[in-house]
Structure 1
Amino acid sequence: MDKRSVVAICVVIAVIAIVSTAINIDHSSKEIKNSDPSRNITDQEGRNITIPTNVTRVAALAGQAYEKLILLNQTDKMAVTISAWTNLPWSSKIAPQLKNIPIENDPNVEDLISKKVQVVFCLSYDGTKDKLNSSDIAVVVTQKNSGNPDNIDSFTKYVKQEIALYGEVMGPDAKETAEEWGAYFDQKVNYVTLRTKNLTDSQRPTVYYARGPDAITTQGKNSYTQFYVEMAGGRYVAKNTDKEGLQSVTMEQLLAWNPDVIFVGRVNSTDIITNDTRLSNIRAVRDKRVYLCPQGVAYWDYGAEGVLLMEYFAKTLHPELFQDLNMTNEVKDYYLRFYHYNLTDDETNRILQHLPPASY
């Protein structure tokens, strides 16, 4: 056999070896991938999402996602979150580990991969879903801006479904806590609505919610605040707005509504209403029925603590029906039950008065 033949045979052997190795590597990688079990869940948009069986690294990119993870005792699994909690000092008071979690309001795919994120919690309208669509990271929508429930029954199911979704993603312990929260929610809803369901329209004060940062920003039809007000025995004046969710109305519309009561949220005082001379003749201002909503680990208008907001609305709108409702006790019980934090009376009163922790 001449030298040229020997070289040809060696080349063939080398090629075969390389191809065989590549096949083995590919086969091994597939085995590794297949060995990572997965499961399917349905998010709040009704999408079927495949997630790992054991979720240990998540990105809490929905505004209130961090609150849900604190609620379910899953804070240690947050690989990244957004800055929403930094405006709510009770969040880091209750869960100090938040201070050690990277904050990224607009993380890119590569960054999330480098942090080994398995699941991203986001809103339907913040752009995150579309941006991550081509990645292997599971994107779970927790709240949507349109197509929301349009009656109290479907709303209560939707709210419980949101908490249950977080529980299902995060695993058995979280799922158990989510179920406990759902039972608690049902109990409080029944407690309030049994007393308000037979009120006539004339017995239900009209209510406007000034969401801040100004007087004309509100949450319109099919919003959480609409249903909490209605369950609490009020008539929500913005229930028939043209669109759902966060929006601005005109000053003329607010004056025409002339609400009996105004609740103010997400700002630190009622000044956006009471210091605006254009609103001085509104019934709520004349009758001094403008109230600053409490604020805790999250904004009460769209967080899990909204169940407490419903009770607060009920106590404020109908004190004669809820003489036995002690909001200090309700808040203390909630924080101990779900956050495992024993609030003092002073701390509880600060939450109810929309004040930060004394040490803040």
Structure 2
Amino acid sequence: MREKIRTIVAIVTGLWMVFMGSEGLSATPPPSPCVKTVVDRTGAQVCLPAAINRIVITCYGGASHEIALFGGSRKVVAQPSIDRFPLLAKIYENFVDVPDAGAFDNVNLETILALQPDVVFAGIVSPQGNQRIRTLGIPVVVLGIGRADIDNLLKEFTMVGGILGAEETAAALVAYWNDRLSLIRNRLASIPEEARKKVFYGTTGPPFRTEGGLWWGHHFIRAAGGINAAQEIKMRGGVTPEQLLLWNPDVIIITTNHSQNRQGSGMVGDIRNHPKYRNIAAVKNNAMFACPIGTFWWDRPSPEAILGILWLAKTLYPRQMEALSIKIETKRFFSRFYHYALSDAEFNAFFSTVGKVNP
């Protein structure tokens, strides 16, 4: 079915371009009237039409999840493949056959043009691709994705909810986040900064890459009450075994959102058995964990990322967070925001790469 839809899109694209060329007209459709303006993650003012009925997404970073949660799933006419998120496809079945118009800087302008979207949601890390789409006369709303922090992510929820006419849902989501973040702060308030767990967040490895103070991984750790071992590097970069030994983290967290790390528990085993890492505190104490995956990676920015922050807080400080049930919290979140009754088996599958569950 998916291949059939992709074929249809390709045929329509070709016919559109031939027609435009035969008429001697510009391939850029006339812009829809500008009715409202939003400020995106880059600070740009983006003018939008009154009705948003056709949406193209050209990034990962939880964009599909935001739009779906705010009631826009059936308006999405193109997005990157969601094959890695089977539960998202189960909840929003119409996503399965949506064609792919490319991602980030590798976008297919002809396909996007033929789909005639009212708006394109794109990522902040692809300025060239985003500008190419703007030349078509289509509004581009840039999202923060991996460069988000907590404050900007909550502002993004409000913005996207407003674009889709879901202001009440956006306000409820922001309030939920603020409530749960406050819960973590209150539960951990008695732990002084010098006693907080030092966490290393591995985005690939070994050999490792990680995220410093200007990327989401840092804010993920800080929101959970930890200290980012790599905060000094600011952006992203490689980490030698010698540097990791100098940092000597109490806990190592492995993301599963890179192809190298699909089986997080296997990566934990690789670290444990690597002779260069055996003297690191996290290795000696077996404090290494792969991040769970729900409808999206729990360690990456999305509406669901607050569940990952709660999971990490409980992983780092099990005694202080003992009263919190990750299973109950997750089921309530799915019911309230996805309108989906999550089963025990589906919840347990979130932790299939983790190697340890603390529900």
Structure 1 residue runs without a partner (length 5+): 1-32, 149-154, 356-360
Structure-to-structure mapping, 1:9-20, within 5 angstroms: none
1:261 matched to 2:260? The reply is no
Equivalent residue for 1:330?
329
> Which residue does the alignment assign to 1:238?
230
Instruction: State the SS of the aligned residue for 1:262.
Output: strand
CA distance in 2, matches of 1:96, 1:307: 24
Contact 1:228 1:310 in 2 (8 A): yes
Partners of 1:160 and 1:35 lie apart in 2 by 28
Contact 1:168 1:175 in 2 (8 A): yes
Residue 291 (structure 1) aligned with residue 293 (structure 2): no
Contact in 2 for aligned 1:36/1:52 (Cα 8 Å):
yes
Separation in 2, partners of 1:237, 1:344: 36
CA contact (8 A) 2:124 2:143 kept: yes
Q: Structure 1 residues 284 and 132 mapped into 2: Cα distance closer, same or farther (>3 Å)?
A: same
Q: Aligned AA for 2:204?
A: G
**Cα distance change of structure 1 residues 211 and 34 upon mapping to structure 2, 3 Å threshold:** closer
- Amino acid in the other structure paired with 1:104: A
Q: Is the 8 A contact 1:270 1:290 kept in 2?
A: no
- Greater shift, 297-306 or 285-294, is seen at 297-306
When structure 1 is superposed on structure 2, of 300-309 and 272-281 the one drifting more is 272-281
Q: Which amino acid aligns with 1:120?
A: V
Partner of 2:11: none
Partner of 1:21: none
Between the aligned partners of 1:290 and 1:232, the Cα distance in structure 2 is: 16
Cα deviation for residue 278 of structure 1 reads: 2.0
How do 1:78-227 residues align onto structure 2 when only pairs under 5 Å count?
A: 78-83=76-81, 85-105=82-102, 106-126=106-126, 127-143=128-144, 155-170=149-164, 172=165, 174-212=166-204, 214-227=206-219
Opposite residue 116 of structure 1, the aligned amino acid is Q
* TM-score of the aligned structures, taking structure 2 as reference length: 0.81
Aligned residue for 1:57? 54
- Gap change, CA 1:144 and 1:34, over 3 Å in 2: closer
Q: Summarize the Cα distance change of 1:249–1:34 in structure 2 as closer, same or farther, 3 Å threshold.
A: closer
The answer (yes or no) to whether the contact 1:230–1:236 under 8 Å persists in 2 is: yes
Q: Is the 8 A contact 2:34 2:47 kept in 1?
A: no
Aligned residues: 312
Q: Is the 8 A contact 1:207 1:261 kept in 2?
A: yes
Change (3 A) 1:49 1:279: same
Q: Distance in 2 between matches of 1:166 and 1:259?
A: 37
Give 1:194 shift.
Answer: 1.4
The offset of 1:353, in angstroms, is: 3.5
Whether the 8 Å contact between 1:79 and 1:115 is mirrored in structure 2 is: yes
CA deviation digits over 1:226-270, x for unaligned, max 9?
2232232211111110x42x4322332222111110111113223
Tell me the residue number matched to 1:28.
Answer: none
Corresponding residue for 1:352? 351
CA contact (8 A) 2:89 2:95 kept: yes
- Partner residue in 2 for 1:77: 75
Whole-angstrom distance in 1 between the partners of 2:108 and 2:35 = 24
Counterpart code for 1:269? G
* CA separation of 1:202 and 1:113: change in aligned 2, threshold 3 A: same
Counterpart of 2:38, as a letter, is: I
Identity %: 27
| Higher mean C-alpha displacement, 131-140 vs 47-56 | 131-140
Residues in 1 aligned to 2:37 and 2:56: alpha-carbon distance in whole angstroms: 18
1:214 deviation in Å? Answer: 4.2
- The RMSD of aligned alpha carbons is 2.2
Deviation of 1:109 after TM superposition, in Å, equals 2.6
Tell which deviates more after alignment, 126-135 or 94-103. Answer: 126-135
Bigger Cα Rg: 1
- Which whole-Å CA distance do the structure 1 matches of 2:113 and 2:266 have between them? 45
Secondary structure of the equivalent of 2:96? helix
Q: CA offsets, 1:292-327, max 9 Å, x none?
A: 111111112222221111111111111111111000
